[in-house]
Amino acid sequence: MLQDVKSYLGRCFVMKDLGEAAYIFGIKIYRDRSKLLIGLCQSAYIEKILKRFYMENSKRGMIPIQEKIKFSKSHGASTPAEIQRMQNIPYASVVGSIMVSWYTDAGYLMDTDDMKSQTGYVFVLNEGVVDWKSTKQSIFATSSTNAEYIAAFDASKEAV
């Protein structure tokens, strides 16, 4: 069946079979065929981010974290050396490096026959598109701003 799909796609598009995928969007794909398992691993990307922010020697921990753990200010850097080291790390950039970005846009009254606007959004992870949509809005927008809000709402539903 897989070969049939590849043959069909090869007739429809110019393509090259590179074998089994090892990475997608910078995320490693691992398989254990004997156990019928497939998974994704971001260790290479995490190592890259740790090096970028000079944190490659940081302590490693097991994930997921403990249930019902309560965080407090005392969990942060406590020694003067730790505090100094943390001041040199741009926190927002570190957190932003592992976040999904999403963009929305709307075209107000794009269809003059039914007076509906167009919604579009795209989700990006590690510089690769992971989800996108372009569709006619299901409700009437009363302004271009309203159309933008509807587009943002549609994208936020998908994000959740």
pLDDT at 49: 80
The helix (run of H) or strand (run of E) holding residue 80 is: helix 80-87
Whether the pLDDT of residue 63 is over 70: the answer is no
- For 2, 28, 86, 127, the CA distances from 12, given in Å and listed in that order, are 15, 28, 53, 27
Model confidence pLDDT, tens digit, residues 17-37: 888 888 877 788 888 889 888
Q: Model's pTM, two decimal places?
A: 0.43
Q: How far is it, in rounded angstroms, from Cα 157 to Cα 44?
A: 30
